[in-house]
Structure 1
């Protein structure tokens, strides 16, 4: 589960450290940490209880920062912090799920030095760790019941959309149909991650659907993710004041 800034940060990392048998926090080795280069993946392997720290330089005005670790066997977790190595009560994002993918996204990252910790919850191998800058483009606004057509993407790409849901709504239904294999992620007021969302649909077909009962009033963010290349995509988000059909 991704832990976002300001919510259960200390508790989440403390649980990870306890599971790893660590009592004094994550070690800080800013001068010895290997460098992670934007746009270049590194392979990380580790034993249960291991911790490896990388440092990353983010330029001024570079866009959104995405840190991704995927493709591994075993169970590894991720923690990211600006300016210093992550500690139990001091980090900006922690991602700890049982899936072979961990992800952190910062919409307005500070320029300078960032530190990324990879924690071995169990032994793990072949984790592909990368960091990239995404264009600083806002989410495309959707109108309830109106289709957005012509969507496409190459494997690894994603695009963001948003829809406003009024108070008292019975349900929000988001449907995606395409040729190829896109996936669908939906979250309330926050950027959906691959391992942290309110609803996700990732079948092996080009048809994905999310239904959220009694959605909160406000902005819902929709992520269309290209698991594999896809084209001819149509996205429809519909707000139902009464029961959805």
Structure 2
């Protein structure tokens, strides 16, 4: 067994271990092989969804059940695993195994505070700063305790520690002479790589976290704790309401599709694709439980009108509002350069809540705005993108938008289409404004999920501008999709090619394209047009080659072209100038 010398306060733990009440895997790696570092302490998204603090305490420490929410809350706040927090508590006070220990001093003399929540908050703030490389472990309450913490973690969670030790051993094996890996052991890591402005989610991933068509106030960006850390957070509200106001008709909504993790009654996180997540703090009436899969723009609760609820595990707030944050791989990520509903955020100040427009602003549609009221236009639905696995109930409303540049002559097709799945979702489309149940340009209003709005039937053929889409649940709908497509174009004029020389270009053709037409005209010499898919066109590689005589326009038309790069080559059979190249593709 790996029982080291225990302090007097941990004698009960020693007795429990010897009695077999707390069991240890005797096949586990030795203490020297297992060592917690900040990487092993991180609260991963997998653990958020697989480890239930309340269930663990009910089975192993029922006397701590009343504190399960606080442990879960500060795990989410600090990005430190709740298992590590439980190991810290056990290491210092024996409170996990000893119901007689002081419930209000879980970290004992390690903390300068008194009270369960107060001590956990101090711990969370210090370890959050370590995770963001603002501090080292040596400058926190854990200084000098890492070996003991590793041993305690191993005792409480032997299987997890074994997996960590084996993973570490495997990585070190690659550093031995003669291995296929490095020839020397890398220096120990000082912490996790912290996301910054270079880490950006897709521009059409995140919506503002309130209903499309509504206007809320947004203040300056700030660190999650309001301090000097990475500016990951925004405070948002409808404004004008004090504590005690009726906010039951004001909904906070999910910024992107994902899986819910409820950290506490006032703190929710939604885990998205690509390692991203968003958090929602100062909340009440949470509408979803951990593990729920939800869409973008789904009602998730209200920001709290009761101060005690808004601060369910401490903190500060001057009035009702939503505290919204962005995370990457579990750690708070800078908002600088991030897009919310198409607004690109600038957040470059070195102090929290700075509303100086030079350091904090939002820009879109060629304009820039400072801190203030922002209308939510919804998330861009880029041309050719198919968004799948959409689910909802009767009355669910999902919103998207697509911006189409001013189109040249002959490019006048736009299509919005729902398809697949079960149930009944209705498609609403409007150009230049957000559609409602009573205000729209197109609404097929059919049974089921297969509906289309098309510029050839019901929509304007002047496709340039901003198009808005609403999906409305007539009944529950499951696994449906929305696709938006419009005409595409590429023009290049006054091209010159010498005899035997080439001019090369290419176009990206999206899925669902009905036809691709490429032509050259306007010349008096003899150029030859070559078109090929996937690689550069040449005399030996082409899908289409009209090969016409001098002065004759050459055209290639490909029906149902494969999505991807189509390469265009113009070869000079003789010297030719003034060539006009035109490519058009239609959905």
Using the size of structure 1 for normalisation, the TM-score is 0.42
Higher relative contact order (CA 8 A, sep 6+): 1
Q: Larger % of helix: which?
A: 2
- State which structure, 1 or 2, has the greater radius of gyration over its C-alpha atoms: 2
